Amino acid sequence: MNTILSYIREFFINVDKVLLYGCSLFAALLITINYCFGVETKWLYGAPTGWPRFGSFLLLYAIAFIIPWLLLMARHTKTGYPRMFWVLLFIAPAVFAMKVSFPGLSGWLVPALRAPWGKYYSVISSLPSRLVLVAIPLVFFYWWQRPQSSFWGLTTRNFEWKPYALMLLIMVPVIAFASTQRDFLVTYPKLQQVGFIAPYVRHSWPYKLLFEVSYGLDFVTIELFFRGFLVIAFVRYVGPDAIVPMAVFYCSIHFGKPLFECISSFFGGMLLGIVAYRTQSILGGFMVHVGIAWMMEIGGYIGHALKK
């Protein structure tokens, strides 16, 4: 744990303070606009599926990622950036917009399978199919860039599980408190998405467990893209300052979540980015991320049970 704390302390000592404060204020501005005007819930998910929704998310993510990068480049007096940098900069928001706007396999599964199984398997397959969707361009960029490292941090090298277990332990009282809040219980547990299957099966727990495994795979996508690709691919151009724009982008994908979760995602994303940069591994971030997600599932389940 002391090693991780030293990583974090060193980062905040050396980071460009104008960049850090400027991006923090920019993230706060985006959060304020979203929660005052319902940007994600009303405008983005209100857009028709397909290209209009993809374009809406692309605009949000491009603003959240490219504007912080423009500030970063203004602070770095580097004379120029290679073509690869510009490709990655503009393609990155498109990759995640594609992931978020992808309708999944429901168009094939719902008509092909008898109710309720078409709906159930479309929910179960949604997040794994999006992992594949994001992984395809990341494989291409990895082959193109050929970094001297593992596949965007997907390695056990330099991974020690004990500090991350301690982080999860620290989060228990925070999640316990959140589980008493109304906006948290509106969102969690995500398991509610497959609650409709219970009347059709003798034992519903295997089907719910399969959902939780599918839900956990989404955090492979998140860590691979944000802490792997957006950190490891970009730090080669400007060093660890690249973590700050990633954190703003990461915050923007939480606009549909409870306000406290959205705000904390900016700082949490930055901390996980620091660790990924120093260890060149995303496994610690994945362990923390999926652990918190499953604890929030448990907290939401208990919170609803106590309300009855």
- Residue-wise pLDDT tens digits, 287-296: 999 999 999 9
What per-residue confidence (pLDDT) applies to 55?
95
Q: Which parts of the chain sit beneath pLDDT 50?
A: none
User: Phi and psi at residue 114, in whole multiples of 5°?
Assistant: -70, 145
CA angle 272, 278, 279 (to 5 degrees): 85
Q: Which helix (H) or strand (E) holds 42?
A: none
Per DSSP (E only), the strands in 45-153 are none
> Tokens at residue 122, please?
């479309």
What per-residue confidence (pLDDT) applies to 148?
62
Residue 267 to residue 271: CA distance in whole angstroms? 6
> Tokens at residue 32, please?
């304020």
How far is C-alpha 66 from the chain's CA centre? 17
Question: pTM of the entire structure?
Answer: 0.90
What per-residue confidence (pLDDT) applies to 110?
80
Strand, coil or helix: what is 120? Answer: helix
What per-residue confidence (pLDDT) applies to 162?
85
Name residues whose C-beta falls within 8 Å of residue 63's C-beta, 6 or more positions apart in sequence: 30
Q: How far is CA 108 from CA 47, 128, 137, in A?
A: 22, 16, 24
Name residues whose C-beta falls within 8 Å of residue 104's C-beta, 6 or more positions apart in sequence: 122, 125, 126, 129, 130
What per-residue confidence (pLDDT) applies to 118?
93
What per-residue confidence (pLDDT) applies to 308?
66
What per-residue confidence (pLDDT) applies to 187?
86
